[in-house]
Structure 1
Amino acid sequence: MKVFVVLALAIASVSAGVLPQGAPMHPRDMPAVAATIEGRITNGKTAAPGQFPYQVGLSFGSSSGSWWCGGSIIATRWVLTAAHCTDGASDVTITYGATVRNIAKLTHKVPSSKFIQHASYNSAILRNDISLIETPAVSFTADINKVKLPVMADSYSTYDGQEAIASGWGKISDSATGVASTLQYDIFKIVSVSTCQSTYGSLIASSRVICIATPNKISTCNGDSGGPLVLVSNKELVGVTSFVSSAGCESGAPAGFTRVTSYLDWIRDITGV
């Protein structure tokens, strides 16, 4: 079925006048591959303890298996992540305040009844890839704290050329067999929607998406899904990790994020934030 979806996306992009370098796909759906002797860290720097207090790890469970995603604390009782992370899950264990993935300051297990997945999420075209998770209240500390959301006035900002930080425990190379043990991050440049459309077409790279350049094989990857993209300038959360090229995380194609400013009303109506 996934092969069909990727093929359909490629056909849609060609019909729109764009030949994609590689069809987009959610990082969670990237296939596992065998490790090679050349495995090396390609997607970032190692985070220091407390550097990203808003970052959470999300271990989702279901009857068909489990998977790892990232998320962002936006209030004492709310975590923001991607819809493709919550989709199909029965529960999630939330890891707070961790740098080493399995050493947390706090954990909460939350059932799927506390997931609010965007009602118009479309996995075929990666549209409205955003979810909220209602959590037990957490107390903020130096290691656990919320990230600032953009203001409504920023809704029309393109962010083109601005620098932003992506973080997560995603795979450190295309050849890695599992997610990273220690939180990774890097600083990326946001590119225009038109630049992103030249790779993925306008059906995928819509105005509700933000894309980053991924030079030197540095990018988000499997396990980073749902994690934060935060502006360097003002520390605002502007993106939720959504897709990469099916050609691989190290392919050099732009990586895509759900644009948070397009969903500020939706977030406010549900959470009051």
Structure 2
Amino acid sequence: MRSLIRLALATAATAALAGAGTASASATTVTGDAVSPHIIGGTSGSSPYIVQLVFGQSGGTYGCTGEAISSQWILTAQHCIDGTQWMDVYFSNSVTSPGTPVAADQVAGSSHGDVALVHLSSTKSLSGYAPLASSYTPAGGTGVIWGYGLTAGGAQPTHLNKATVNIVGSSTDAYGGNAIHVKGSDGASNHGDSGGPLFVGGKVVGVCSTGDVADPGSDIHAGSNYANLTASRSWIKSVTGV
């Protein structure tokens, strides 16, 4: 079995990852090597750096979303790595034909909330990488979320999706860190969107952590909480150089 090395600077987490009010944060169960896809509502989109994560955790195989921030490092949510024994990273935006994965060999969790880093066992050069904000304070307006999470009613489309959300204010993520509270405008996050990015002003300001309800069903206006990267930003740079 493939195994991951947890970096010495990683912090073990004890937060609950699923349950009423937080189930949108939980990873999606995977059948074979296909990640369960898609945000509720929204539209299909393409990105060279928004990746599918498939991993072994608690005796099962699950899926999350991540962002390549360099040729060696992926940003995601900490609950997607906590207790994970192995992880494959797929760079195709297709869920039904995800291509050949790159195995992860190291993971690290932030001490400031539901934020994590995944190191690739071999480099993957892309045409671009996810741009990270240096800091962010929720102040209204809108943002854009991306992910491979379930769509309305648990259906499983075949591609990466995106949606516009309204920034509601500040909240708390699954690990007690600062989060950005959002409500869907034309789409909302669901199971499997965990670790996916929230873009504001063209830069990633947070990663998907929890949902306001256990099952958002087909509600495109459902609320969710994105772990704010601000407190983890210097840590991310110290580990990755980004």
Q: TM-score, normalised by structure 2?
A: 0.77
Q: Which residues of 2 match residues 120-139 of structure 1 at below 5 A?
A: 120=111, 128-135=113-120, 136-139=122-125
**Structure 1: 5+ residue stretches without partners:** 10-21, 33-40, 121-126, 197-201
1:140 partnered with 2:119: no
1:54 to partner: Cα distance? 1.8
Looking at structure 2, the residues matched to 64 and 76 of structure 1 have their Cα atoms a distance apart, in angstroms, of 30
Looking at structure 2, the residues matched to 237 and 229 of structure 1 have their Cα atoms a distance apart, in angstroms, of 6
Q: Which amino acid aligns with 2:21?
A: A
1:244 partnered with 2:211: yes
Looking at structure 2, the residues matched to 131 and 205 of structure 1 have their Cα atoms a distance apart, in angstroms, of 11
Q: Deviations over 1:71-93 (max 9, x none)?
A: 00111110000011111111111
**SS across alignment from 2:123:** coil
Looking at structure 1, the residues matched to 76 and 140 of structure 2 have their Cα atoms a distance apart, in angstroms, of 24
Q: Which amino acid aligns with 2:130?
A: V
The corresponding residue for 1:12 is none
Compared with structure 1, are the counterparts of its residues 76 and 256 closer, same or farther at alpha carbon in structure 2 (3 Å cutoff)?
A: same
Of Structure 1 and Structure 2, the greater helix share is in 1
The corresponding residue for 1:214 is 184
1:183 to partner: Cα distance? 1.1
Q: Indicate which of 139, 149, 154 corresponds to 2:132.
A: 149
Of Structure 1 and Structure 2, the greater strand share is in 2
- The 8 Å contact of residues 28 and 67 in structure 1, kept in 2 or not, is answered as no
Q: Which amino acid aligns with 2:97?
A: I
Looking at structure 1, the residues matched to 174 and 87 of structure 2 have their Cα atoms a distance apart, in angstroms, of 28
Compared with structure 1, are the counterparts of its residues 245 and 30 closer, same or farther at alpha carbon in structure 2 (3 Å cutoff)?
A: farther
The corresponding residue for 1:18 is none
Q: Which residues of 2 match residues 191-206 of structure 1 at below 5 A?
A: 191-193=168-170
Q: Which amino acid aligns with 1:115?
A: V
The corresponding residue for 1:176 is 154
Compared with structure 1, are the counterparts of its residues 227 and 243 closer, same or farther at alpha carbon in structure 2 (3 Å cutoff)?
A: same
1:259 partnered with 2:228: yes
Q: TM-score, normalised by structure 1?
A: 0.69
- The 8 Å contact of residues 228 and 237 in structure 1, kept in 2 or not, is answered as yes
**Structure 2: 5+ residue stretches without partners:** 1-15, 31-38
Compared with structure 1, are the counterparts of its residues 207 and 57 closer, same or farther at alpha carbon in structure 2 (3 Å cutoff)?
A: closer
Q: Which amino acid aligns with 2:125?
A: S
Compared with structure 1, are the counterparts of its residues 54 and 31 closer, same or farther at alpha carbon in structure 2 (3 Å cutoff)?
A: closer
Looking at structure 1, the residues matched to 143 and 100 of structure 2 have their Cα atoms a distance apart, in angstroms, of 27
The corresponding residue for 2:139 is 160
Looking at structure 2, the residues matched to 206 and 62 of structure 1 have their Cα atoms a distance apart, in angstroms, of 22
Q: Deviations over 1:182-201 (max 9, x none)?
A: 111111121112xx5xxxxx
The corresponding residue for 1:190 is 167
Compared with structure 1, are the counterparts of its residues 78 and 42 closer, same or farther at alpha carbon in structure 2 (3 Å cutoff)?
A: closer
Looking at structure 2, the residues matched to 203 and 42 of structure 1 have their Cα atoms a distance apart, in angstroms, of 20
Query: What percent identity do the matched residue pairs reach?
Result: 25
**SS across alignment from 1:159:** coil
Q: Indicate which of 185, 188, 199 corresponds to 1:230.
A: 199
- The 8 Å contact of residues 170 and 180 in structure 1, kept in 2 or not, is answered as no
